[in-house]
Structure 1
Amino acid sequence: MTSRASIADIDAAVSGSTAPRLFLELTDADPSTPALHSMKGDDDWNAWTLGEMRSMVARAAVGLTEAGVKPGQRILLMMRNRPDFHWYDVAAQFIRATPVSIYNSSSPEEIQYLAEHAEAEVAIVEDAGFLERLLKVRGDLPALRRIFVIEPPEGNLPEGVEPAEALLGPDEADLGALAAATHPDDIATLIYTSGTTGPPKGVMISQYNVVYTVELLRQCIDWDDFRGKRAVSYLPMAHIAERMMSHYQAMILGYSVYCCPDPNQLTAYLGKVHPQIMFGVPRVYEKVYAGVNAALAADAERKQKFDEAIAAALEIKAAERDGTITQEQRDTWEFLDAVAFSNVRALVGIDAVEIAVTGAAPIPATILEWFNAIGVPLSEIYGMSESSGPMTWSPHANKPGSVGQAVPGCEVEIAEDGEVICRGGNVFQGYYKEPEKTAETLVDGWLHSGDIGVMDDEGYVRIVDRKKELIITSGGKNISPANLEGALKMIPIIGQAAAIGDNRKFCSAILVLDPEAALVWAKNHGKESLSLPELAVDPDVIAEVQAGVDEINQQFAQVEQIKKFVLLGEEWMPDSDVLTPTSKLKRRGVLARYGDEIESMYAGLD
């Protein structure tokens, strides 16, 4: 790709298109390409080709229509990552309905709010567990007419609840006729924001947004052929990153998607699938980085040699990015790869990765550079639900520490107050039923991200922090907690970090031991009998962490340095009160859960 496409270029490329129309073009061209997979036993797969997926979509389209679903109506989808999601969601698009995914961890009250706000009339849930939560609030959802269950419980079902197999009769819809009736203005989905600053808002993503964004991503990736490229789907489909990665791109470009129903199983799936394109939140890559280094630490000599190889590779990759790499450096890296790096990639299951992406939260540049050094082409993407996913990304011209340049067909600028703003066909249609909030976010066609950023003279953007999350100390100093947290997570035995200091006299931190790395450290230091909570109060462990904090503090100004910390021996799980489903920090949740621990660090100072 020699030059970046403009908004007009992308608009012309997708004019009049919809995802259903492009799906038919894909399945007409290559119906035999593997499209969807689910695990069968330990080492085998259930598989559907594009042609077989098309048939399932056609059957589901008939079933949904017979269930009374009409154009413009919302359909709730609540299920783990499984092939069924794809054909039900695509079928809903074909009949011009709007599928809405709900996070699987949602409480009955959260389900009620989203179902009521979306005015959903039909719901498809996975099993008895999801059904039970929905039935608890069904009495408060008069618009919800019918519920379908993919794996229904034994016995009689309540009135209005049916097995989902009723949606998959033998008759197939005329998808060509249905696709012809779809329109770029149709709402392809509502993405509900995480609600960290209030009730969740329904981000309206149109068919135009979908095809526009897939086209700009296609140009970013710049492969000759996307069909059959392996990808693992493991993040919630309620998140724009997973929807755009393994659903919309797959139905238009033809990825071969392996459905992983539990994110905790990702490591096992990587080892079996060996994906060629991979999206991972920073925590995925941080755990690989920590695990490899913890394993190497058991053999001091081996660890030293590997670290020396990494140091040499970092210098070589920096020269490669700068365009100054020599043939001698290329030969050196090939040698290092043969004797060390290729083994690591194969062990983790990322040896076939051609495009590796991280996003949804900041990643320390050190970790990104480490992956580049061992031959994983990892780059950072930036965006939000309201930009249909991407806003900046430069996968083939990576600059660690930045989130890349503006993607094709998207103009990105830094406003006078430092806020990152953008415009383009990827910008959403507004918040469902909330014109005032839409007007606050969309100003004169520009999407206001809520993030503070800087842009260098080459157009690379670096995100400083969320506008509303900057720490303002009692002395009036603005501090980026994300920068501190990213550095603190580089302490080898630390898995999570939350910087504290808003309206306080100094900065402190809640630090969480990394379960895998901490236990390896314990074994290497004769403390293998200690549990994680016991390690968190062990003087030697605390001293190890303090040494790491002292070293990190040297990178920051005096007012930004961590003066105290509380060390925790537990694991923060995604989709909890402290982490979002993509492992982004929920600051209010951290403050609420650890209020006493935080106050203890400031006791006697007020």
Structure 2
Amino acid sequence: MAEGVTLQNTANETFGKLLARNASIHGSSIAIREKERGIWKESTWAEYVEEVLACAAGLRKFGVKPGKAVLILGDNRARLYQGMLAVSLLGAYAMPAYPGATLEELQHFLGEVEIFAAIAEDQEQVDKILEVRKAGARGIAHVIYDETRGLGFYEDDGLMSWDHLIEVGRHDLNEDPHRREELLNKAKPDDPAIFLHSSGTTGKPKGVVLSQRNVLAAARNGHEAGAFDENEEILAYLPMAWVGDYAITVAAALLYRFTVNVPERQDTVVRDMREIAPTFYLAAPRSWDQMLTTIQVGMEDSTPVKKWLYHFFMDRATAAETRKLNGKSGGLLEPVGRLLGEAIVFGPIKDQFGMSRLKNAFTGGEAIGEDTFVFYRALGIKLRQFYGQTEISAISAMQAPNEVRLHTVGKPAPGVEVKIHESGEILLRSESVFAGYFKKPEASAESLEGAWLHTGDAGYLEENGQLVVLGRISEVMHTAGGERYVPNYIENRLKFSPYIKDAAVVGAGRDELTAMVCVDFEAVGHWAEVNGVPYVSYSDLSQRDEVAALLHEAFLRVNKALTEPLQLKRFVSMPKEFDPDDGEITRTRKLRRKVVEERYTDVIAALYDGSKEVHVSAQVTYETGEVGKVERSLPIREV
């Protein structure tokens, strides 16, 4: 197959066949780069496939086989991605977990399926796995680690380095020249690709096994919808346990031969992105918000001339982009202004943040703020929204570059059918839809109706085919006066403020709506520093009157978009962030509403009984795993 020719008949493709194709035809092209000690180390497709095969052979030698799972634990590392592919070649379950997963969460995974082995990033993650074993959990006979530092004197059973596993695997492969071909052809399209978990907003996360057919179908759908091209340069920084990362960094990368770039650490992502300048970039709204805040803060700290130039061009580009989003012309002078702005302002900003080569930029997971969305479009980055879920392998609908509206998520991707249930729920059908929750027939029956996936989201299709998502249908609530509202819709709009990180709107069965909010410590802390507002901790900063004024502005702005019966009347700023370790939000930062409402019943009562303040004793889980308390009196503030 010639370079640049897209596969047409990929319905029966498997990871093994694609690895063989890439090694054979594109063997000298770069498959993955990983930054280590400041140096980017490259592996070609030929080298990458050999490492995957050696890992698969080694794992099989140690007893990994269909029906068993291999836990993948850590931040993004090249070897962890190779390990996931190797497990898939064997027909077993590759099960990535969030690097911050707690002991309880890992024990829950062990209760679902036999986790025969684990591939861990470093000593911290190895310690976590060994702790699970010591707690009496069955399984995890073998623990393979990538980074050797700190593990030289460990003598636990089954503990080995990645290099040792690869050595065993290569020896096995060299014993029989046919074993490479056997491993590449062993798995079938309906065999497991990945074992992920639902977000768990309403209870324990449910197991979601996606087949190789599922994830490759999703990759084809995304490509045909124009989400990405062949040979993209991407940055692998999103959590490996999130379906969005897997869909792009593994499935699409394999099918369309992306070059995957793995940053050195999570705290070097911004710098590493600038060095790589990816052509495709997917980030949650919070990440786009944080980058915007950094840009704005940097400009405010710059010279008067630079500030004037920035505002001169940026204000005009923003106004032009807003007109476009409203279906109007950008203006006759806009092309000239765009060229000048690109040379003086827009181009240097994009270069500084590694966005100079971006062709395909996406946001997903929740709604993005209008100011943020318009800013990037004005900067010349064709930012688009997409919609998907774990159960449909991440990709179901997305905006086209020139068909962008703030309130929609775009049209269904080719290969995806959408219909609206009589209840208002969005239903999806595609080859990328999973077969059901792992060993949960009742939950599967609720989620699947024939081949149709019940998304759990309320929404509707516009006449032009654009899909509008309103929020979780289970969260459609009513006030005492019968007014219908979706808390998540209002919470997302509160989070459009750079100063609000999380929010919980309450008011079901009550006369009024109120909210609990958590400030964004980084954004508010910088604002406080610039404006001379003293503070000693998150708890202290969150209760300052000056900060309350910032929050008040955000509430006023949201209320303008709400009907009078649904306007927020009071709020309280929490003394700590909602934290996944405390069970208040999921690892993907989705609110666990029941937990929050049960934990903060006193706060909710005070929001409605006329109290001026409420005393809170909030649970905090520290990095050591120890649990403490934050005690504070919180003012009840009127909007």
Change (3 A) 1:302 1:457: farther
Measure how far apart 1:64 and its partner are.
Answer: 1.1
Match of 2:386 in 1: 381
2:50 is the alignment partner of 1:55: yes
Counting only pairs closer than 5 Å after superposition, residues 245-284 of structure 1 correspond to structure 2 as 245-260=248-263, 262-284=265-287
Q: How big is each residue's C-alpha offset from its partner over 1:56-93, in whole Å with a ceiling of 9 and x where there is no partner? A: 01211210111122234322221221011121111122
Shift of residue 503, structure 1, vs aligned partner: 3.0
Partner residue, 1:5: none
SS of the aligned residue for 2:9 comes to helix
**TM-score, structure 2 as length reference:** 0.86
Change (3 A) 1:66 1:547: closer
Query: For 1:151-190, what per-residue CA distance to the aligned partner results, in whole angstroms no more than 9, with x for missing partners?
Result: 4523242223333333201334743332333211111111
Question: 2:570 — aligned with what?
Answer: 564
How far apart in 2 are the matches of 1:181 and 1:520? 55
Q: Identify which of 160, 175, 180 aligns with 1:175.
A: 180
Residue 573 to residue 333, structure 1, CA distance change in 2 (3 Å): farther
Taking a change above 3 Å as real, the CA distance of residues 311 and 417 of structure 1, as seen in their structure-2 partners, is farther
Task: Note closer, same or farther for the CA distance 1:298–1:522 as it changes in structure 2 (3 Å cut).
Answer: farther
Q: Which moved more, 1:67-76 or 1:553-562?
A: 67-76
The reply to whether residue 128 of structure 1 matches residue 133 of structure 2 is no
Match in the other structure for 2:491: 485
Q: Which residue of 1 aligns with 2:70?
A: 75
Please show how residues 452-491 of structure 1 align to structure 2 within 5 Å: 452-491=458-497
Instruction: Give yes or no for the alignment of 1:198 onto 2:203.
Output: yes
Residues 468, 135 of structure 1: CA spacing in aligned structure 2 closer, same or farther, 3 A cutoff?
Answer: same
3-state DSSP of counterpart to 2:230: coil
Distance in 1 between the 2:250 and 2:557 partners? 43
Q: Work out the CA distance in 1 between the residues paired with 2:77 and 2:332.
A: 46
Q: Does 1:499 align with 2:505?
A: yes
Instruction: Output the amino acid matched with 2:146.
Output: I
One-letter code aligned to 2:131: K
Q: Does 1:29 align with 2:34?
A: no
Look up the match of 1:150. Answer: 146
1:116 corresponds to which of 111, 115, 128: 111
Q: Distance in 1 between matches of 2:541 and 2:132?
A: 43
Q: Is the 1:121–1:144 Cα contact (8 Å) retained in structure 2?
A: yes
Corresponding position: 1:39 with 2:35: yes
Structure 1 440/347 Cα, relative in aligned 2: closer, same or farther at 3 Å? same
1:420-460 residue CA offsets vs partner (Å, 9 max, x unmatched): 11101011111111112111100021100000112211111
CA displacement 1:360-380 (0-9 Å, x = unmatched): 222223321221111111111
Percentage of identical aligned residues: 26
CA offsets per residue over residues 295-316 of structure 1, 9 Å max, x none? Answer: 4445799767645644432443
Q: Which residue of 2 aligns with 1:410?
A: 416
For the pair 1:317 / 2:321, whether they are aligned, the reply is yes
Q: Is the 8 A contact 2:202 2:594 kept in 1?
A: no
Q: Residues 341 and 12 (structure 1 numbering): CA distance in 2 closer, same or farther, change over 3 Å?
A: closer
* Distance in 2 of aligned mates of 1:308 and 1:572: 39
Separation (CA, whole Å) in 2 of partners of 1:134 and 1:218: 38
Secondary structure in 2 aligned to 1:353? coil
Distance in 2 (CA, whole Å) between partners of 1:448 and 1:89 is 28
Residue aligned with 2:99, SS: coil
Q: Distance in 2 between matches of 1:11 and 1:503?
A: 54
Tell me the distance in 1 between the aligned counterparts of 2:251 and 2:305: 47
Alignment of 1:427-442 (within 5 A): 427-442=433-448
How many residue pairs get matched?
593
Q: Which segment drifts farther, 507-516 or 385-394?
A: 507-516
Paired residue secondary structure (1:453): strand
Is the Cα contact below 8 Å between 1:281 and 1:582 reproduced in 2?
no
Amino acid corresponding to residue 161 of structure 1 in structure 2 = L
Q: 1:141 to 1:493 in 2, by over 3 A?
A: closer
Question: In the alignment, is the contact (CA less than 8 A) between 1:454 and 1:463 conserved in 2?
Answer: yes
Q: Where do 1:219-298 residues align within 5 Å?
A: 219-221=224-226, 226-227=230-231, 229-260=232-263, 262-297=265-300
- How many Å separate the matches in 1 of 2:336 and 2:500? 35
How far apart are residue 257 of structure 1 and its match? Answer: 1.5
1:183–1:508 CA distance, 2 compared to 1 (3 A): same
Distance 2:603 2:487 in 1: 18
Q: Distance in 1 between matches of 2:465 and 2:311?
A: 33
Query: Are the equivalent residues in 2 in contact too, given 1:235–1:582 (CA < 8 A)?
Result: no
* Deviation per residue, 1:405-429 (Å, 9 max, x gap): 1011000112111111110101111
Partner of 2:616: none
* C-alpha distance in 2 between matches for 1:361 and 1:481: 13
Matches of 1:494 and 1:137 in 2, distance apart? 36
The 5 Å alignment of 1:577-588 reads: 577-588=583-594
SS at match of 2:372: helix
Deviation at 1:244, TM superposition (A): 0.7
Q: Equivalent residue for 1:13?
A: 9
Residue pair 1:11, 1:212 contacting (<8 A) in 2 also: no
Letter in 1 for 2:317: A
CA separation of 1:344 and 1:482: change in aligned 2, threshold 3 A: farther
Aligned letter for 2:152?
E
Report the secondary structure of 2:358's partner residue.
coil
Q: Which amino acid aligns with 1:384?
A: Q
- C-alpha distance in structure 2 between counterparts of 1:414 and 1:11, whole Å: 32
Q: The residue matched to 1:330 in structure 2 has which SS?
A: helix
Report the residue type matching 1:178 in the other structure: L
User: Which of 144, 147, 164 is equivalent to 1:166?
Assistant: 164
Q: Is the partner of 1:450 in helix, strand or coil?
A: strand
Secondary structure of 2:480's partner? coil
CA distance change for structure 1 residues 302 and 478 in 2, over 3 Å: closer, same or farther?
Answer: farther
Distance 1:472 1:257 in 2: 46
Q: Which stretch of the first structure deviates more once superposed, 567-576 or 530-539? A: 567-576
- Residues 344/156 of structure 1: CA separation in 2 closer, same or farther (3 Å cut): closer
CA distance in 1 between counterparts of 2:95 and 2:122 reads 17
What SS class does the counterpart of residue 388 from structure 2 fall into? strand
**Aligned equivalents of 1:65, 1:492: Cα separation in 2:** 49
1:78, 1:187 → 2: CA distance?
Answer: 18
* Contact 1:507 1:560 (C-alpha < 8 Å) held by counterparts: yes
The Cα of 1:266 is off from its aligned counterpart by 2.7
CA deviation digits over 1:533-589, x for unaligned, max 9?
444333233234323322331221112111111124655567763343333333344
Give secondary structure in 2 for the equivalent of 1:486: helix
The 1:568–1:350 alpha-carbon spacing in structure 2 relative to 1, beyond 3 Å, is: farther
2:504 and 2:314 mapped to 1: Cα distance?
29
Structure 1: runs of 5 or more not aligned: 1-9
Cα pair 2:80 2:121 within 8 Å, conserved: no
Q: CA RMSD in A?
A: 2.8
Task: Name which of structure 1's ranges 438-447 and 493-502 shifts more when overlaid on structure 2.
Answer: 493-502
Give per-residue Cα distances to partners, 1:248-283, cap 9 Å, x unaligned: 222222222222365444323323322211110111
Q: Distance in 2 between matches of 1:491 and 1:89?
A: 38
TM-score when normalising by structure 1: 0.90
Paired residues of 1:575 and 1:582 also in contact (CA < 8 A)? no
Distance 2:358 2:7 in 1: 30
Question: C-alpha separation between the residues in 1 aligned to 2:498 and 2:102?
Answer: 35
Is 162-171 or 105-114 further displaced after alignment? Answer: 162-171
Relative to structure 1, the CA distance from residue 594 to residue 183 in structure 2 (aligned partners, 3 Å threshold; closer, same or farther) is same
- Give the corresponding residue for 1:7: none
Distance 1:460 1:181 in 2: 41
